[in-house]
Structure 1
Amino acid sequence: MFAHARKLLAATAVATVALTLSAHAADLIISTGLGKPHLWVGAHMDPFADAIEKGSNGDVKFTRFYAGELTSVGRELDALTSGTISVAAPLLAPYHEGRFPLSDVTQLPTYGTDSPMVTRAFQKLLDSEAKIKGDQTFHDYEIASKGIHVWALGATAPYSISTVKKVLKEPADFNGVPLRAGSALHTIMLEKLGATPVTMPGSQAFEAASRGTIEGLVIAISDWPSYSLQQLLRHSIVDVSIGHWESYLAISDQAWNDLTDDQKALFDKTAREVALTNAQEWEARVGTVRDESIAKDGGEFTSINDLSPAMKAHVETAAAETWKAWIEKTEANGHPARATAKLYAELIQAEGGKLPAGVAEYLAQ
């Protein structure tokens, strides 16, 4: 009788331990629409998932999907809220038309900015308690109602204007030239320059440039290898940032709420750390790609400071006008773009970045 009781107690204890462990375990589906060569995959998604699995002693595990195997670029939010995936790495907000109206603020043109600076500034924007509309912070307005928790990615390196054959030396050289724009904000900048924007994701740019559908792109130089563009692009204007592409590592509220407090703390800590490591990768690759392009393909990288005074003034004016146009267009659609731009401007200047001439005065009005 006593032996039977001991066996029953032992079995109950084992079952209790197993139940406790299973309650703390989490099997999450993590998905990206990007391919493995992209720095937001090989240098962000995978290191993040590896670190969480290791840091949780295997209690949190990921099933990983790549290159749109489960959900494509621009469909990440729907996949998260429907429960198709647990984590989007990344959720590319600018491809979700109209749903994240303020998130492309980091694509506003700046000077002297790099990936780590923008990553820190964007995470601070997400964390900020400053109100941009009524009692709403940036996070309240842009994220809170969407059923997700988010963190900044490592921002891309500065976006530059790069072409296949045409050399852009004077303002008139932009006239009517078809250039790829990756977002609505890039479209504004190209229109201000006098070019013809052609909106498309980076994955379509190689074919379009090969066929001559576009003459060049607005894109980060460090992103060329992700789309094999180093085989095509030869002429780039640098030292003026056509913004930096930022977006989100996102987990659904449902998946988040199933995590323990310790797992949530690990998730938050790891997301912040990996974003900064990823930003350093973006920045380091700029030099590597430039050196290889110069050595192997005869690539040319011309500083805006080495252009003619007329060309430099043309680009600088377009950069300033892009801030104004984005703010006024977004405000006309009912969103607090001015307050968001002003807050971001303060954060990026605190990191050491500079605004185009006239922007600070415009924001102060």
Structure 2
Amino acid sequence: MTSRQEIRLVPITLRSLALAAGLASLAGLATAQEVTLRFQHFVSPKSANPTYFMDPWVKAIEEQSGGRIKVELYPAMALGGKAQSQYDLIRDGVIDGGWVIPGYQPGRFPEAEALELPFMMPKSGEVASVAAWNFTQKHLMDDFADVHLIAAHMHGPGLVHKKGPAITSVEDFDGLKLRGPSRPATLLLEKLGATPVGMPVPGFPEALAKGVLDGGVITWEMSPSLKLDELTDSHTDVAGDRALYNLYFIWAMNKAKYESLPDDLKAVIDANSGLMASAWAGKAHDTGDVEGRDAMAAAGNEIGEISAEETDRIEALGEDVTAEWIAEVTARGLDGAALVEDARAMVAAAVEQ
């Protein structure tokens, strides 16, 4: 027969167990649904993409998840590694996500280079990014299959920043040591008679300061954060509505990390991905380009534009680069002509929208 003491202890123990189990269940639920994501990029937090895309993107994710996703954004490779290794850091889960320039690893993503060929893109990062996302969906998803792609975009028009006077002719490129960000850009610089030096953006200011370079090609929007008002004297764009060169980026997340999220939190990421996010990222560069150009002009630097006639000469050399690129990638088993044709068609469609 159960004692009176035992009768009193049984319900107390059960209530305690139930309470403990409930608290554990709630704690487990919170742990499963609250996530911190560490994203990394390689530029100043004050530059255009972090200011006008990354920071607002983070805010949107946090607000739309009701605070259940927290995104920590680390600038200037603060979590370690080099800009060239960013894709692998995301793929391997060293970081949860970040900004990648595929062209920083020449030859690894050859199909993406079609978007970076000379005079391929309009002088609008937003419009160019619409084309880039559509091209990516058709041709590049296999290349990026080991990460979760959020956006694919372009920056605004690249131009020449150099010590000394602005460039006015093809001959002015002769012998200049100029930084290039990608293989197509360095191929064009070589055609123009310059000595191209492939270099990620973090190393550009120091190379200028030490006299290793005479200048380089980069956007207006990066000029203030790189102190190009102090390190260079002139900034030269080509005539017309097409960019001398452009650069392709992806905003991506570790695949396993994305897949580990509950469906409702995946939906928050998805709602801030794709064509919308790509155009958003491109527009951020357009906003920064206006500010960057104004800052260089305010500093008293020379703002130049190559004449239409000289731009035609440069564009002809760009066509040579494109023809040689088609031949090269076709020899590697890709259909180079079809890639260029598709890129041009998608640009034309984006421009018409």
- TM-score (structure 1 length as normaliser): 0.83
In structure 2, what is the Cα distance between the partners aligned to 1:292 and 1:45? 22
Residue in structure 2 matched with residue 248 of structure 1 by the alignment: 250
What is the 5 A alignment of 1:34-183?
A: 34-70=43-79, 71-88=81-98, 90-108=99-117, 109-110=119-120, 112-128=122-138, 137-140=139-142, 142-144=143-145, 147-183=146-182
Q: Structure 1 residue 340: deviation in Å?
A: 2.4
- Taking a change above 3 Å as real, the CA distance of residues 235 and 5 of structure 1, as seen in their structure-2 partners, is closer
What is the CA-CA distance between 1:64 and the residue it aligns to? 3.6
Task: Give the C-alpha shift of residue 2 in structure 1.
Answer: 4.6
Per the alignment, residue 267 of structure 1 pairs with 269
TM-score normalised according to structure 2 size: 0.86
| Structure 1 Cα separation of the partners of residues 326 and 288 of structure 2 | 32
Q: Deviations over 1:39-93 (max 9, x none)?
A: 23333333222221221122222344321222320112222233211112x0221
Structure 2 CA distance for aligned equivalents of residues 291 and 225 of structure 1: 10
Q: Percent identity?
A: 23
Moved more, 24-33 or 218-227: 24-33
1:298–1:243: structure 2 CA closer, same or farther, 3 Å change rule?
Answer: closer
CA contact under 8 A between 1:107 and 1:242: conserved in structure 2?
Answer: no
The alpha carbon displacement at 1:173 in A equals 2.2
List aligned pairs for 1:196-275, cutoff 5 A: 196-231=195-230, 232-239=232-239, 240-272=242-274, 273-275=276-278
2:189 equivalent in structure 1: 190
Q: 1:271 to 1:229 in 2, by over 3 A?
A: farther
SS in 2 for 1:223: coil
Q: Which moved more, 1:50-59 or 1:210-219?
A: 210-219
Counterpart code for 1:172: E
Q: Return the alpha-carbon distance in structure 2 between the equivalents of residues 222 and 338 of structure 1.
A: 32
Deviation at 1:245, TM superposition (A): 1.4
Deviation at 1:7, TM superposition (A): 4.5
Q: Which residue of 1 aligns with 2:7?
A: none
Contact 2:166 2:304 in 1 (8 A): no
Letter in 2 for 1:313: D
Do the aligned residues in 2 keep the contact of 1:160 with 1:218 (CA within 8 Å)?
A: yes
Q: Does the 8 Å contact 1:155/1:245 carry over to 2? A: yes
1:41 maps to amino acid = P
Query: What is the CA–CA distance in structure 2 between the aligned matches of 1:34 and 1:293, rounded to whole Å?
Result: 19
Structure 1 residues 298 and 148, CA, compared in 2 at 3 Å: closer, same or farther?
Answer: closer
Counterpart residue identity of residue 32, structure 2: A
1:316-355 matched pairs, under 5 angstroms:
316-352=315-351
Q: Secondary structure at the match of 1:227?
A: coil
Q: Distance in 2 between matches of 1:198 and 1:72?
A: 17
Cα gap change, 1:151/1:244 in structure 2, threshold over 3 Å: closer, same or farther?
Answer: farther
SS where residue 212 of structure 2 aligns?
A: coil
Over residues 234-265 of structure 1, what are the superposed CA-to-partner deviations in whole Å (9 max), with x where a residue is unaligned?
14123441232121111112111101222222
Provide the secondary structure at the position in 1 that maps to 2:123: coil
Residue 33 to residue 112, structure 1, CA distance change in 2 (3 Å): closer
Asked if residue 299 in structure 1 is aligned to residue 302 in structure 2, the reply is yes
5+ residue gaps, structure 2: 1-9
Which of these residues, 1, 9, 15, is aligned with residue 24 of structure 2? 15
Residue of structure 2 in register with 1:315 after alignment: 314
TM-superposition CA deviations, 1:296-316 (whole Å, max 9, x none): 3142221543xxx3x233112
Partners of 2:106 and 2:122 in 1: CA distance? 29
SS at match of 1:116: helix
Mapped contact 1:164–1:235 kept (Cα < 8 A): no
Check whether the contact 2:47–2:288 (CA below 8 A) recurs between aligned residues: no
In structure 1, distance between residues paired with 2:48 and 2:293: 16
Bigger-Rg structure (1/2): 2
Q: 1:117 deviation in Å? A: 0.6
Give me the whole-angstrom Cα distance separating, in 2, the residues matched to 1:251 and 1:270.
13
Q: Which residue of 2 aligns with 1:361?
A: none
C-alpha distance in 2 between matches for 1:292 and 1:221: 9
Secondary structure of the residue that 2:252 maps to in structure 1?
strand
1: CA distance, partners of 2:47 / 2:170: 33
Q: Which amino acid aligns with 2:89?
A: A
CA distance in 1, matches of 2:228, 2:151: 26
Q: Structure 1's 52 and 338: CA in aligned 2 closer, same or farther, altered over 3 A?
A: same
Say which is worse superposed, 53-62 or 329-338, in terms of deviation. Answer: 329-338
Amino acid at match of 2:175: G
- Between Structure 1 and Structure 2, how many residues are aligned? 337
